[in-house]
Amino acid sequence: MDFRWEQEYLEFRDELVGFLRAWRTPELLAEYDRGEGTPGPAMRSFYEALDARGWMRMCWPVEYGGEGRDPLYRFIFIETMEYWGMPYGDLTFTSVAPTLIAFGSETQKKKYLPGIFKGEVRFALGYSEPNAGTDLASLRTQAMRAGDDWIIQGQKIWTSLAESSTHIWLAARTNPDGPKHQGISVFIVPVDAEGVSIRPLHTMSGLRTNETFYDGVRVPAENLVGPVDGGWNIVMYALNFERVGLAAVGDLAREFDLFVAYLKERRPELLDDPVTRTRLAELKVDLHRQRALATRNAHAIASGGIGIGEASMAKVHGSELRYRFSNTAMDLLGRYGALSEESGALAPIDGGMELTWRMSPILRFGGGTNEVQRTIIATRHLGMPR
């Protein structure tokens, strides 16, 4: 055993950190914070600089603009970006693009990938339906063949970012008769296609998401991704990429550091209290546990394994920790801990803990609910009887 990172990884990390220090301007952070979906000028030039270095796609095959590096680079990249709270492309970049590379036709790759690099093509993910959440395979939105086209009819829910996207990455039923996993296909649906409508849903985290409706939406056959009825594997592949970011420890580690720095500067009497120190120590142990699980998962993937159990463990522990961490931090801050960003200078860390607490449910039930993840750990990882 040798737990040390090889020199080349550390060099990459240092280079990336140096780059981020230079680019992490207040304008960029303000723009990113507003989270409007369509990048503004500061974010556009940042993405350009990032793209010029090829870091977002360095693990992709050379023929699609990548460098074919091993997935541990991707892990370091994501962890570092998360720690510094910098944008690194949303799910279009982290999930749709690699899935297109794996399953898309040559025409699709030529048509969409360059636009994805430039931020001109942006996808919203249309998987969930009102009656197909955890049980995603029972989705009912239908796509019917009509000559050279497909006609789509149905409803999706939680189609986040649809309002600022150019396309929807849609899972639809193409075979209502067979086993449910074997009758699903993936389509690329332009948001402005006739028959697509969007209704906003406002969440308690402040994030907007949407219901999307498809009323006789016609798309050409070339918008089908992969084989007819072969969409389930594609969706699972894309979801795996989506989950890589979920288990990251980086942003929690940053919040921990910010929290301690805040206490040191503004509430020294709290930091002197041995109880506070014990709570912080407990959180620190948990952060290291998360680092262990996330690193193990990345290593399993890089070694060519599937890492199903590892991914689930990191996802469950990371999302539970997000709640526990923000909950404890708020308790330590007392009522100050509940002040939201609108309270201005009074709010500790700009209301960061309160916001993390409010957002924490998403990751516990999103990306595969923790209940189902635990079942996966028990059955697929531990081999317990089903």
Partner 1 sequence: MDLELTETQTIFRDTIRKFLEEEVPFSRVRELEKQQRSDEALWATLGAQGWLGVALPEEADEGGLIEAGLLVEEVQRRAALVPVAEAISCAVTLQRHGSRERAPELVERILSGEMTVVPAILESVDRFGEVAAEVNDDGLLSGEKFFVDYASIATHHLVAAQCRGAVGLYLVDRGQSQIETTSTPTLGRTPAAHVRYQNASAEQLCGEDGHAFLIQFARVLCAVQALSCMQVALEMSVAYTSIREQFGQLIGTFQAVQHHAADMAIDTESTRFLVYETLDALDRGEASEEQVAVAKAAASRAVPEVVMLAQQLHGGQGFIEENDLYFFTLRGKERSLAWGTTEECLALIGRSVEAPERWL
Minimum CB separation of residue 148 from ligand FAD in Å reads 28
- How many chain residues interact with ligand FAD (CB under 6 A)? 18
For residue 67, the number of C-alpha atoms closer than 13 Å in the C-beta half-sphere is 13
Minimum CB separation of residue 159 from partner 1 in Å reads 11
Told to check if 245 binds ligand FAD by CB under 6 A, we report: no
Q: How far apart are CA 185 and CA 172, in angstroms?
A: 5
Instruction: Locate 155 and state its tokens.
Output: 């409803």
**318 and 272 Cβ atoms separated by less than 8 Å:** no
Give the three-class secondary structure for 297.
Answer: helix
Residue 335 interacts, among partner 1, ligand FAD, none and using kind-specific CB cut-offs from 5 to 8 Å, with partner 1
Torsion of CA 320, 325, 328, 331, to 10 degrees: -110
Residue with tokens 């780059």: 19
Told to check if 157 binds partner 1 by CB under 8 A, we report: yes
Told to check if 129 binds partner 1 by CB under 8 A, we report: no
- Footprint (CB under 8 A) of partner 1, residues 270-289: 275, 279
Told to check if 80 binds ligand FAD by CB under 6 A, we report: no
Q: How far apart are CA 46 and CA 118, in angstroms?
A: 11
For residue 179, the number of C-alpha atoms closer than 13 Å in the C-beta half-sphere is 5
Told to check if 357 binds partner 1 by CB under 8 A, we report: yes
Q: How far apart are CA 237 and CA 283, in angstroms?
A: 33
- Dihedral angle sign, alpha carbons of residues 259, 265, 267, 272: positive
Q: Which residues are catalytic?
A: 242
Which of 21, 72, 19 is closest to 50 using CA atoms? 19
Residue 165 interacts, among ligand FAD, partner 1, none and using kind-specific CB cut-offs from 5 to 8 Å, with none
Name which of 60 and 127 has its Cβ closer to ligand FAD. 127
Q: Which of 159, 185, 223, 295 binds ligand FAD (CB under 6 A)?
A: 159
Q: Which residues, at least 6 apart from 324, have a Cβ–Cβ distance to it below 8 Å? A: 283, 286
Instruction: Find the part of the chain contacting partner 1 (CB under 8 A) among 33-41, 71-79, 112-120, 328-336.
Output: 328-336
Minimum CB separation of residue 200 from ligand FAD in Å reads 12
Name which of 138 and 142 has its Cβ closer to partner 1. 138
Q: Which of 188, 235, 283, 333 binds partner 1 (CB under 8 A)?
A: 333
- Footprint (CB under 6 A) of ligand FAD, residues 351-370: 362, 365-366, 369
**Taking CB under 6 A as the rule, which mask of x and - marks residues 114-153 in contact with ligand FAD?**
-----------xxxx----xx-------------------
Q: How far apart are CA 32 and CA 40, in angstroms?
A: 9
Q: How far apart are CA 295 and CA 288, in angstroms?
A: 10
Q: Provide the binding-site residues for ligand FAD, judged by CB under 6 A.
A: 125-128, 133-134, 158-160, 203, 207, 209, 362, 365-366, 369, 371-372
